[in-house]
Chains A and B, each alone.
Chain A
């Protein structure tokens, strides 16, 4: 399996962050996000320091800034929501660029924007430094129910297949002169969705039969148990521990 099989979210380079065991990275990212959420929003400098921390991790992981920023765009819908906040929240009014906005609304918008962006950035770094398969192994190691891990692995393994099937159906529709312009075309799209469901379900049955014929009895054998040494845990915990220090400073200062 070469890089060609890797998911497009994953950046295949070698770096200390890539080499960390997946469950360490998952734990670190989750703890980091938790600490960020617990930080008081008035400590603006703390969020700047968090951003610096993440930038440092991205640099160590050799993720280009442009890549990271492009992936951050997923947050745009919530930015739009946050921008509305200063106008709908009642409270003390203030002047900003000649427009009257509310102070609690501004704080709320800042809170959501800062914490949301940091969370998204942390997840993006995790996804681009960890392969899908090892991510699943990490989840399994973190005692997620094995059945859930199996379902997730099937979803990821066949996600591209099903999406590809959907794309081919869309090409077939368009090559027959179909163009989805409005509500009147919903019937055709819904029929496509129905056909996609039947194909997915039948594929699931075929996959199950193929697995049964190879000796599947309800659980997957664990062939490569992921383990982490104490040093690796120490490296992974650098991010959340530093963040925790910043958070505590944010509460006291």
Chain B
């Protein structure tokens, strides 16, 4: 499968080298997104795994045996970018150290065996994963199909490169038939092993399979013989800090809508509004009830005669005031939680 020197002419080899270099550059950037600063050790170990698994021989029939190519497996287990990187590094090292695949054909080898298998299999896998039901079995099936197609696809790309820059003019139809025919057989083996391997990993550590990340189902509790959704884990403080702006905007809009429009209909029954307010957690303005002589007293703006309109307006103004007060309270509380701010406040109190 490794193309040696002199098989593809120099200009096409150079072009394939440029393609491979571009793919590796894109993958370097993408892998940082997949693995962040763990990229080097993890991708290195996965490359070592691919290298080892290519030595694992699978007996086919009496005497003959095949081995895994690993492109589809890498893409599904660790993601397409890391997959391309791992296979490329394996090919680079095989070329330099083991003289397996020519140095000038490195670009061709990476394009065919690294990029094509990985990209084709991952695209197919993703496509199938969206169509099929989200279960472990369908993930394994998608891995099977992805690996099955990826190997003949690589053979097709190789034939295309050979057609453009092959040094021997074998009729292209013959090459295509031979390459695709042989590689469909290889692909079946690759597919079975890849599917089984992905299945084996999913059974033990589903969180490690990049292609099965959406599979985690919510935790269920059996209470009195019935399955109930477990209460969501309480979010930690740093996580909340990230999304406050969006949360606040949503809360503000919701509160204004509720106060302004729902109160049109709820104003006849003050308890309704109060209940909604309590449910939505915006009833922190209880203190406002102390200001009975304010222009907003009794949920109505004094100079507006229309009962509903005044009620709605009062609601909106009330929500606005609540938000200002509530935000102030929250802000103060949050300041106090951080140790520096707490120390600051304490010194002020001492003064």
Could you list which residues of chain A lie within 8 angstroms of chain B, going by C-beta atoms? 7, 9, 26, 29-30, 33-34, 36-38, 41, 71, 74-75, 78, 85, 88-90, 104-105, 107-109, 111-112, 114-116, 118-124, 126-127, 132, 135, 145, 147-148, 150-159, 161-163, 165-166, 180-183, 185-187, 189-198, 200-201, 203-205, 207-208, 211, 217-218, 220
Stretch at the interface among B130-138, B168-176, B250-258: B168-176
- In whole angstroms, how far apart are the Cα atoms of A197 and B83 in the complex? 13
Which of these, B98, B102, B195, contacts A119 with CB under 8 Å?
B102
Instruction: Say how far A210's CB is from chain B's closest CB, in angstroms.
Output: 9
- In whole angstroms, how far apart are the Cα atoms of A187 and B42 in the complex? 26
Which of these, B4, B77, B89, B97, contacts A112 with CB under 8 Å?
B4
Instruction: Say how far B209's CB is from chain A's closest CB, in angstroms.
Output: 9
Q: Which residues of B contact A165 (CB under 8 A)?
A: 52
- In whole angstroms, how far apart are the Cα atoms of A193 and B52 in the complex? 9
Determine whether B181 belongs to the interface, using a CB cutoff of 8 Å to chain A.
no
- In whole angstroms, how far apart are the Cα atoms of A158 and B43 in the complex? 11
- In whole angstroms, how far apart are the Cα atoms of A123 and B5 in the complex? 11
Besides A75-B99, A163-B52, 11 more A-B contacts (Cβ < 8 Å) are: A109-B168, A121-B99, A123-B99, A123-B103, A147-B31, A151-B43, A194-B199, A196-B52, A197-B46, A198-B208, A204-B46
How many chain B residues touch the partner (CB < 8 A)? 74
Q: Which residues of A contact B37 (CB under 8 A)?
A: 217-218
Q: Are A189 and B58 also in contact (CB < 8 A) when A197-B197, A200-B45 are? A: yes
Residue of B5, B13, B53 most packed against chain A (CB within 10 A): B5
Contact A162 B51 (CB under 8 A): yes
Determine whether B218 belongs to the interface, using a CB cutoff of 8 Å to chain A.
no
Which of these, A7, A90, A115, A152, contacts B5 with CB under 8 Å?
A115
Can you show 20 pairs from A to B with CB atoms below 8 A apart?
A33-B102, A36-B6, A37-B9, A37-B10, A89-B169, A105-B168, A108-B168, A115-B7, A119-B5, A126-B96, A135-B97, A148-B88, A154-B48, A157-B44, A181-B59, A182-B61, A183-B61, A193-B68, A196-B49, A205-B38
Complex interface residues of chain B between 91 and 144 (CB less than 8 A to chain A):
92-93, 95-100, 102-104
Contact A166 B201 (CB under 8 A): no
Residue of B7, B167, B199 most packed against chain A (CB within 10 A): B7
- Grouping DSSP codes into helix (H, G, I), strand (E, B) and loop, the A interface class, with mixed when no group exceeds half, is helix
- In whole angstroms, how far apart are the Cα atoms of A37 and B5 in the complex? 7
- In whole angstroms, how far apart are the Cα atoms of A145 and B27 in the complex? 12
- In whole angstroms, how far apart are the Cα atoms of A192 and B114 in the complex? 23
Q: Are A155 and B93 also in contact (CB < 8 A) when A115-B5, A186-B196 are? A: yes
Q: Are A150 and B5 also in contact (CB < 8 A) when A186-B58, A204-B38 are? A: no
Which of these, A85, A116, A148, A198, contacts B6 with CB under 8 Å?
A116
Q: Which residues of A contact B200 (CB under 8 A)?
A: 190-191, 193-195
- In whole angstroms, how far apart are the Cα atoms of A187 and B196 in the complex? 6
- In whole angstroms, how far apart are the Cα atoms of A162 and B205 in the complex? 19
- In whole angstroms, how far apart are the Cα atoms of A112 and B58 in the complex? 29
Determine whether B324 belongs to the interface, using a CB cutoff of 8 Å to chain A.
no
Determine whether B40 belongs to the interface, using a CB cutoff of 8 Å to chain A.
yes
Determine whether B90 belongs to the interface, using a CB cutoff of 8 Å to chain A.
yes
Tell me the nearest residue of chain A to B208, going by C-beta.
A201
Contact B197 A89 (CB under 8 A): no
Contact A119 B6 (CB under 8 A): yes
- In whole angstroms, how far apart are the Cα atoms of A34 and B192 in the complex? 39
Complex interface residues of chain B between 218 and 252 (CB less than 8 A to chain A):
none
Which of these, B38, B39, B170, contacts A89 with CB under 8 Å?
B170
Interface flags for B193-218 (1: CB within 8 Å of A; 0: not) read 10111111101110010000000000
Determine whether B24 belongs to the interface, using a CB cutoff of 8 Å to chain A.
yes
Which of these, B44, B56, B196, contacts A155 with CB under 8 Å?
B44
- In whole angstroms, how far apart are the Cα atoms of A220 and B104 in the complex? 29
Contact B55 A148 (CB under 8 A): no
Determine whether B47 belongs to the interface, using a CB cutoff of 8 Å to chain A.
yes
